[in-house]
Structure 1
Amino acid sequence: MPRPTDARRRGEQIETLAAHWLEQRGLTLISRNQHAKGGEIDLIMRDGETLVFVEVRHRRRTDHGHPLETVTPAKQRRIIKAARFYLQTQRLSCPCRFDVVGVTGTRPDLTVEWIRAAFDAY
């Protein structure tokens, strides 16, 4: 099996940090890195009765934009497609939400921003 790149390893660390950060705010981690045809969901969490699909984005610096700005309409469509696939394969029918967590900086100086219901499935 190939070794993960430094960038992939950093991404996994940021996703772990985001999951713990969200858990401290009352969400429960259900799954990580769910792959579906054409997309991936970084984190799947539960907020009460609501299933939350979370996209985690990181940038060390914001000179060229904030990480929250990188969740384009095309990226949103891929996440929605992956979420629908997950719901279908798990045979779930429940309220859902799409959140985005933007992390900026480098360890130990990281800033986390959370947008609940950042976009809707259409």
Structure 2
Amino acid sequence: MDRAETGRTGEAVAARYYQKQGCELVAHNYRTRMGEIDLILREPDGTLVLCEVKTRSPDPLAAPAAAVTPAKQRRLIRTAEYYLQHTGQSDEPVRFDVAEVTPLDSGRWMVHIIKGAFTA
């Protein structure tokens, strides 16, 4: 499996994880010229979750979330602002999550969600 395919699979695994928690998948790979949001979901309480998915091989020295740098966070926030304005959801409660997805030797995937990983 190449990197792109691993990333796509990781995003699908994270989306299924959220859906099992009762979330509705609103958009997948929402792109603008400012950036991309991997997953946009709505929780049962109405909170809009904007999730950056990081899929990495197991590495005890580097957490996948470390790749979500301050610069990446700023791009995600700008993209989110654009999305919220253009969909009329600017007044909705919003949370930024990071999903760390790691393939395991057994062919299964481990998902770790960092809720509220950063704020706008």
TM-score normalized by the length of structure 1: 0.88
Task: Give 1:109 shift.
Answer: 3.7
The answer on 1:115 being equivalent to 2:119 is: no
Partner of 1:101: 99
Equivalent residues in 2 for 1:54-65 (5 A)? Answer: 54-65=51-62
Deviations 1:51-106 (A, max 9, x none): 11000001112155110111111111011011001011112121111011001234
Superposition CA RMSD, Å:
1.6
Whole-Å separation in 2 of the counterparts to 1:64 and 1:58: 15
The answer on 1:19 being equivalent to 2:15 is: yes
Task: Give the conservation status (yes or no) of the 8 Å contact 1:54–1:99.
Answer: yes
- Stretches of structure 2 that go unaligned for 5 or more consecutive residues are none
Task: Give the conservation status (yes or no) of the 8 Å contact 1:62–1:104.
Answer: no
Whole-Å separation in 2 of the counterparts to 1:110 and 1:19: 12
Whole-Å separation in 2 of the counterparts to 1:42 and 1:35: 9
TM-score normalized by the length of structure 2: 0.89
Label 1:13 to 1:105 Cα distance change in 2 as closer, same or farther (>3 A): closer
Task: Give 1:26 shift.
Answer: 1.8
- Stretches of structure 1 that go unaligned for 5 or more consecutive residues are none
Task: State, as a whole percentage, how many aligned pairs show the same letter.
Answer: 40
Whole-Å separation in 2 of the counterparts to 1:111 and 1:19: 13
Partner of 1:37: 33
The answer on 1:90 being equivalent to 2:90 is: no
Q: Which runs of 4+ in 1 moved over 6 A?
A: none
Higher strand proportion, which one? 1
